[in-house]
């Protein structure tokens, strides 16, 4: 089938895994050994992710060149209510790939006078959901799971923003941000095609340089889990028989700092060990949306009550998503 070919050969690059396996075997390294299996997992995932990442960042950045911050502010300012939250969450899919990079834009939107909930919908969505996460997840878990991840990420961003807007207060934004006056909103200069291509290429270089070590660490942890830690150990902590597996995965993910590309290899290894889909999604969302460094940066923009509200709403949403998908995960397994 065409979908299978796209998933396994185009996105999954199974041919690359076979080539690496043949190369290691030619060097006398047994693929059945732990070292050989780990090397194959590591080399295959690093090369595959870097190739897909470079292509995806180029495409996303090219699209993003049509949405500079000033234009984005004006677009969001035209809507209110559920439409505004939804649009803000969708715009988050074509902006930075990690939570720390999203916070400067969040501050800019807040200082421009956009509603509290709209800016938080953007802040939740931006690191969680993008074209890159869809394609990379599809390459490993298949399109149904990838689409499910994107949908629940957007729903969390929309509902989280709406709830924060209802409960939070504008005065809980730090005073220096509330006192900022938005710069004159002149229409940004229109890029030419060659400028857009140059911008996209520069974003590829910048982003790959920034996330390269996180990818290596993430793949290294994934290889360790996949080939060295017994499945029984992992399942005793994160398996379906442990009713606290989702809570544990979420809380373990929060202190970590990585983007979606660094968490996918770990998620892949957990998936192969039999960990539930909901537990894996909770871990990924905890890392990308609630990393400790991003919370520290966000504290510079909002006061403790609003920060606590953001943390509580997003954590609660992630945990609910985890338990939901653990209960219906069988629908995504063929």
pLDDT 10s digits, 43-74: 988 888 888 878 877 887 787 777 666 677 77
Residues pairing with 173 in the sheet: 302
- Give the confidence band of 313 by pLDDT, cuts at 50, 70, 90: very high
Please check the confidence at residue 182 and state whether its pLDDT lies above 60.
no
d(CA 14, CA 68): 37
pLDDT: which is higher, 3 or 300: 300
Percentage of residues of the chain with pLDDT beyond 90: 14
pLDDT: which is higher, 95 or 82: 82
Please check the confidence at residue 160 and state whether its pLDDT lies above 90.
yes
Please check the confidence at residue 208 and state whether its pLDDT lies above 90.
no
Residue with tokens 């660094």: 262
Longest dimension (CA), the chain: 66
Percentage of residues of the chain with pLDDT beyond 70: 86
Please check the confidence at residue 176 and state whether its pLDDT lies above 60.
yes
DSSP for 305-326? HHHHHHHHHHHHHHHHHHHHHH
The Cα-based distances of 112 to 106, 116, 180, 182 in angstroms read: 10, 11, 8, 5
- Give the confidence band of 7 by pLDDT, cuts at 50, 70, 90: low
Please check the confidence at residue 181 and state whether its pLDDT lies above 60.
no
Mean pLDDT on 259-277: 82
134-147 pLDDT, tens digit each = 777 887 788 888 88
Please check the confidence at residue 322 and state whether its pLDDT lies above 80.
yes
- DSSP conformation class of 170: G
Burial code (b: 16+ CB inside 10 Å, e: under 16) for 67-102 equals eebbebbeebbeeeeeebbbbbbbbbbbbbbbbbbb
Please check the confidence at residue 194 and state whether its pLDDT lies above 80.
yes
Give 3-state DSSP helix, strand, coil % of the chain, rounded to 5. 80, 0, 20
Q: Where are the domains of the chain?
A: 2-180+192-332
- Give the confidence band of 295 by pLDDT, cuts at 50, 70, 90: confident
Please check the confidence at residue 324 and state whether its pLDDT lies above 80.
yes
């Amino acid at each position: 089938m065409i979908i299978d070919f796209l998933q396994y050969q185009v996105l999954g690059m199974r041919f690359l895994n076979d080539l690496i396996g043949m190369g290691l075997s030619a060097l006398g390294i047994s693929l059945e050994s732990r070292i050989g299996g780990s090397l194959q997992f590591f080399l295959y995932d690093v090369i595959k992710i870097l190739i897909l990442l470079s292509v995806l960042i180029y495409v996303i950045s090219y699209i993003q060149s049509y949405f500079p911050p000033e234009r984005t502010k004006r677009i969001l300012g035209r809507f209110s209510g559920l439409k505004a939250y939804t649009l803000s969450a969708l715009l988050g899919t074509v902006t930075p790939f990690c939570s720390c990079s999203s916070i400067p834009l969040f501050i800019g939107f807040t200082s421009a006078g956009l509603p509290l909930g709209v800016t938080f919908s953007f802040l939740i969505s931006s690191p969680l959901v993008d074209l890159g996460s869809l394609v990379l997840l599809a390459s490993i878990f298949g399109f149904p799971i990838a689409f499910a991840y994107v949908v629940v990420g957007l729903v969390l961003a929309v509902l989280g923003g709406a709830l924060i807007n209802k409960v939070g207060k504008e005065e809980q934004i730090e005073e220096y941000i509330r006192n900022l006056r938005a710069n004159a909103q002149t229409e940004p200069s229109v890029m030419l095609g060659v400028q857009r291509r140059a911008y996209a290429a520069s974003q590829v270089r910048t982003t790959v340089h920034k996330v390269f070590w996180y990818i290596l660490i993430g793949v290294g942890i994934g290889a360790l889990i996949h080939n060295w830690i017994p499945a029984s150990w992992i399942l005793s902590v994160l398996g379906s028989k442990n009713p606290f597996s989702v809570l544990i995965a979420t809380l373990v993910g929060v202190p970590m700092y990585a983007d979606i590309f660094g968490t996918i290899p770990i998620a892949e290894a957990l998936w192969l060990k039999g960990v539930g889909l909901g537990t894996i999604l909770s871990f990924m969302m905890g890392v990308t949306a609630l990393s400790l460094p991003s919370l520290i940066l966000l504290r510079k923009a909002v006061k403790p009550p609003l920060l606590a509200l953001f943390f509580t709403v997003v954590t609660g949403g992630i945990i609910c998503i985890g338990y939901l998908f653990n209960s219906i995960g069988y629908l995504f397994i063929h």
